[in-house]
Structure formats: structure tokens, C-alpha cells
């Protein structure tokens, strides 16, 4: 009886399983919730700003490194760091005993040549007067006297030029200011041996004209054609916050330097001397009206130690495009590269997305 009961229970369980509508689950099918989805956006083209904010640095309007022109010993130094000087003012005197000897030697030779030339002229004049008496002086003798007079006069002029040259060299012993300004460096003292130097040597003095300064700004290559050189420039010095000044662009290099940027200069008057060379400023450079830029969301830019790029979507596949960053604002950044407006790009892109990957 018990055995028959067990057989009947097993039969009923088998029939119930066969009549069930439940199907087996395919564990190999991908889950819809786990599929990789990417958020996309488009590249916008519009004016990011009417001006670009760039750093600038003050430079003296005139600056000169003062070196001696001749060898010698420093005799006196009449200025020090911070001294205001006028053009032509005596700054340093140098002693060179051999230079004094050269001046005396050439002066003596000039006097000798001058006396010889005077004697030759007088002899020629006497012969010329005597030649008026027929037969007293031969024409050959008169011609020789005239030739001797001209040669002696030429020698006297040559010696006079030598005297002027040596005296000019002697004047180099007195170092004078080439323009009005302030001494910012003094590197010699009396008794020091000095010699003509090169640009890499230490100068005796450094003179700067700080009554007017040059505010030097470097415009990146990507902005060169967008700068409006005719509009006024606004700038604020870091050491003087809140004091915004305006001025016009005075000059531009019209060429790109080693940093792939163009230098422009803004003349800044400094009558009270509050501004110092080397001070930094934030400069607002006006841009041409209508100048537009390509903008992408900030999170669309992938940055690594090797490159900066965005991921565009073409025909459902990822294409990595190298870029250079420009100006940025709260939600977007200006980019430069092989891009066009309205192109589709990935937001929240990362370096996990490979070139040619399928984009859902």
C-alpha cells in the first residue's frame, strides 16, 4: 500500500512538470541593463568672449648693460643702485696709463709732421717767388718742392687723424649715461680691473629708463588673426588689484617667436615711479567682432601625459581627434583641431574608448 502511494505521487509530479508553461532561462544572453551606453553631444560654434585674458609683464622702455670700451682699472664710481641719472652724466672713470702715453706719442708726431709741412710750404712759396725771375729756378725744382709740400701736408693730416682717434679712445675712460634713467645694478668698485665684455659677462652698471614702460604680452598662434589691434586694451597689475587701466596697443612683432606666439607691446607711462619692471599683469585683449570658436563640453576632453583629444562619432564608430585647448568657461572649452561645428562627440569620454570602437 505504501509502495503504491509513492508511485502515484511521482506520476502526478511528472505530469505537472510537463504541463507547466515556464521556459528555461538562457544564461548566455546579455542583460539589457548591462549594455554599454554613451552620452553624446555636438560641437558648438560661437563667440566665446569679446576679449582674451592673457598674462603680461612690464619691461623697461630702454635698458642698457654698460661695459668698458678699453682695458683699465676703475678709478671712481659716481653712482650706485637706485641713482637717477641724466643723459651724458659721468658714471665711472677708468685709469689706463698706457693710454696717456699713446696720446702724448701721437700728439708729438702730429706736431713734428705739422712743422715739416709748414717748412715745405714756405720753401715752395720762396721758390715760386724766385721763379718769377727767368732762369733763377728750374721748373723741375719747383715741381719737386710742390710735391714735397703736398706729401708733408698729407702726412700732417694723417697724424692729426691719429691724434683724434687716440683721443676718442681716451674719452672711453669716462663712462657716461646714454639716456635718462635709473641705475639698477652696480657690479664694480674702485680699483677693479675691467675689460671690454660680451653679452654673457657681468656689466659694470645696468641702466633702465622707467619713466615709460613696455607691457609685453604674447598672443598664442591660434589668436593672432583674431586680435583687434585698433581697440583699447584693459589691464590690471597683480600688485595693484582693482586698479584697471586702459591703453592702446603700441606695436606688434608681426612674427611668431620660438613659443609659437606673437609679441605685442603696450606703452605704459610711469611718471610717479609706482610701476616696476618685472611686474605681472592680467591683460584683456579685444577680439575682432564676429570671431567665433569651436566649443566642446569640459568633460568631453580626454587628457593624458602624451596628448589631449576628443572622441567624435562617425558612422557609429569612435574617432579620436587631437586638439589644443583655448579659453574656457564654466561648462565649455574652446578647442582647436581637425574638427567642424555640429560634429557628434562623446561626453564623459575616457581613455578606455579606443579608436574605431562601436558606439551604441
Task: Give per-residue pLDDT as tens, 73-123.
Answer: 999 999 999 999 999 999 999 988 777 777 778 888 888 888 888 888 888
Q: What is the mean pLDDT of residues 55-78?
A: 91
What is the layout of strands, in order, in the sheet containing 174-176? 174-176, 90-95, 72-77, 193-194
Q: Which of 56, 52, 55, 43 is nearest to 329 (CA)?
A: 52
Highest mean pLDDT among 23-27, 96-100, 101-105, 282-286: 282-286
Residue with the larger pLDDT of the pair 17 and 221: 221
Q: What is the mean pLDDT of residues 223-246?
A: 84
Task: For residue range 217-226, list pLDDT tens digits in order.
Answer: 998 887 787 7
Neighbour-count burial of 142, counting CB atoms closer than 10 A to its CB (0-12 exposed, 13-18 middle, 19+ buried): middle
Q: At 21, is the pLDDT very low, low, confident or very high (cuts 50, 70, 90)? A: very low
Under DSSP, the state recorded for 118 is H
Q: At 47, is the pLDDT very low, low, confident or very high (cuts 50, 70, 90)? A: low
Mean pLDDT (the chain) is 81
**Measured between alpha carbons, how far is residue 333 from residues 41, 75, 231, 240, 346 in Å?**
14, 62, 25, 29, 14
pTM recorded for the entire structure: 0.60
Helix/strand/coil for 1: coil
Are the C-beta atoms of residues 131 and 137 closer than 8 Å to each other? yes
Phi, psi of 16 (to 5 degrees): -65, -35
| Ranges of H-type helices in 213-264 | none
Amino acid at each position: 500500500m505504501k509502495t503504491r502511494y509513492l508511485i502515484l505521487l511521482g506520476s502526478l509530479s511528472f505530469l505537472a512538470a510537463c504541463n507547466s508553461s515556464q521556459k528555461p532561462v538562457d544564461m548566455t544572453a546579455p542583460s539589457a541593463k548591462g549594455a554599454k551606453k554613451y552620452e553624446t553631444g555636438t560641437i558648438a560654434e560661437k563667440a566665446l568672449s569679446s576679449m582674451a585674458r592673457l598674462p603680461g609683464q612690464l619691461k623697461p622702455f630702454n635698458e642698457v648693460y654698460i661695459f668698458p670700451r678699453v682695458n683699465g682699472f676703475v678709478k671712481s664710481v659716481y653712482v650706485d643702485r637706485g641713482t637717477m641719472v641724466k643723459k651724458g652724466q659721468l658714471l665711472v672713470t677708468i685709469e689706463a696709463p698706457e693710454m696717456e702715453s699713446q696720446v702724448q706719442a701721437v700728439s708729438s708726431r702730429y706736431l713734428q709732421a705739422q712743422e715739416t709741412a709748414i717748412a715745405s710750404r714756405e720753401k715752395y712759396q720762396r721758390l715760386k717767388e724766385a721763379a718769377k725771375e727767368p732762369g733763377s729756378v728750374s721748373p723741375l725744382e719747383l715741381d719737386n718742392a710742390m710735391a714735397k709740400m703736398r706729401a708733408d701736408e698729407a702726412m700732417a693730416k694723417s697724424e692729426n687723424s691719429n691724434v683724434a682717434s687716440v683721443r676718442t679712445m681716451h674719452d672711453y675712460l669716462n663712462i657716461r649715461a646714454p639716456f635718462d634713467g635709473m641705475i639698477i645694478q652696480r657690479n664694480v668698485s674702485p680699483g677693479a680691473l675691467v675689460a671690454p665684455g660680451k653679452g654673457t659677462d657681468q656689466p659694470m652698471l645696468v641702466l633702465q629708463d622707467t619713466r615709460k614702460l613696455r607691457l609685453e604680452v604674447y598672443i598664442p598662434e591660434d589668436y593672432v588673426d583674431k586680435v583687434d589691434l585698433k581697440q583699447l586694451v584693459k589691464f590690471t597689475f597683480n600688485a595693484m588689484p582693482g586698479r584697471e587701466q586702459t591703453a592702446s596697443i603700441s606695436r606688434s612683432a608681426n612674427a611668431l617667436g620660438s613659443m609659437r606666439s606673437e609679441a605685442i607691446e603696450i606703452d605704459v607711462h610711469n611718471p610717479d615711479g609706482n610701476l616696476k619692471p618685472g611686474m605681472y599683469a592680467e591683460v584683456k585683449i579685444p577680439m575682432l567682432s564676429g570671431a567665433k570658436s569651436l566649443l566642446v563640453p569640459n568633460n568631453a576632453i580626454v587628457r593624458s601625459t602624451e596628448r589631449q583629444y576628443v572622441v567624435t562619432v562617425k558612422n557609429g564608430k569612435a574617432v579620436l581627434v587631437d586638439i589644443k585647448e583655448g579659453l574656457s568657461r564654466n561648462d565649455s572649452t574652446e578647442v582647436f583641431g581637425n574638427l567642424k561645428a555640429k560634429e557628434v562627440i562623446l561626453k564623459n569620454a575616457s581613455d578606455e574608448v579606443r579608436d574605431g570602437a562601436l558606439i551604441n
